[in-house]
């Protein structure tokens, strides 16, 4: 038998009945991810050791009834990024230009930018409220 010869029928890695079925992910109807609101502005990043002025981009998404908030901040984050590898600060929050504040968890952290997710999905409802992120 050569590399090109598939061999007898029923032999090989795809010969069992499970391999002939559709993969599970193909059979599930996916719910699309929908951008509900995008907020941009200048604010402040707080953590138990300090505060940094930042520019933020914040996106609020929905997938069915589930809401998520994620975003990116830019600024001089060297005070945070200079910590030991893997020692991301806990208790961080982002104060938006309208004064609202959300608790965040860092997904990535560099000296000039960081990506984050909101710690509480319920923050999405507050951010979607009328007037959120209005200029002051």
Stated as kind and residue range, the H or E segment containing 17 is helix 17-20
**The CATH number of domain 31-128, selected from 1.25.40, 3.40.50, 1.10.10, 2.40.10:** 2.40.10
Confidence (pLDDT) at 86:
52
Confidence (pLDDT) at 123:
86
- Residue 21 β-bridge partners: none
Q: Name, in order, each residue with C-beta under 8 angstroms of 85's C-beta and a sequence gap of 6 or more.
A: none
Domain ranges of the chain: 31-128
Confidence (pLDDT) at 90:
74
Say if CB 42 and CB 97 are below 8 A apart.
yes
Confidence (pLDDT) at 10:
52
- Our measurement of the distance from residue 52's CA atom to the centroid of its chain's CA atoms, rounded to an integer in Å, reads 21
pLDDT by residue for the chain (136 residues), tens digit each? 445 555 555 555 554 555 455 444 454 468 888 999 999 999 999 988 889 999 999 999 998 888 999 999 999 999 887 655 455 567 899 999 999 999 999 999 999 999 999 998 888 888 887 555 554 4
b or e along 29-38 (b: 16 or more beta carbons within 10 Å of the residue's beta carbon)? eeeeeeeeee
Would you state the structure tokens that stand for residue 63, as one six-digit string?
A: 């997938």
DSSP characters over 65-83: TEEEEEEEEES--HHHHTS
Confidence (pLDDT) at 115:
96
Q: Name, in order, each residue with C-beta under 8 angstroms of 93's C-beta and a sequence gap of 6 or more.
A: 45, 46, 47, 101, 102, 103, 104
Stated as kind and residue range, the H or E segment containing 26 is helix 24-27
């Amino acid at each position: 038998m050569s590399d090109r010869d598939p061999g007898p029928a029923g032999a090989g890695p795809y010969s069992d009945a499970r391999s002939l079925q559709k993969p599970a992910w193909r059979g599930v109807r996916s719910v699309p991810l929908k951008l509900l609101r995008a907020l941009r502005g200048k604010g402040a990043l707080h953590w138990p050791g300090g505060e940094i002025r930042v520019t933020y981009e914040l996106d609020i998404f929905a997938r069915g009834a589930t809401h998520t908030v994620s975003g990116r901040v830019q600024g001089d984050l060297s005070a945070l990024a200079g910590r030991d590898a893997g020692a991301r600060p806990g208790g961080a929050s982002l104060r938006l230009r309208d004064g609202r504040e959300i608790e965040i968890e860092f997904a990535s952290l560099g000296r000039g930018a960081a990506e984050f997710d909101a710690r509480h999905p319920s923050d999405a409802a507050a951010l979607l409220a009328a007037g959120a992120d209005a200029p002051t």
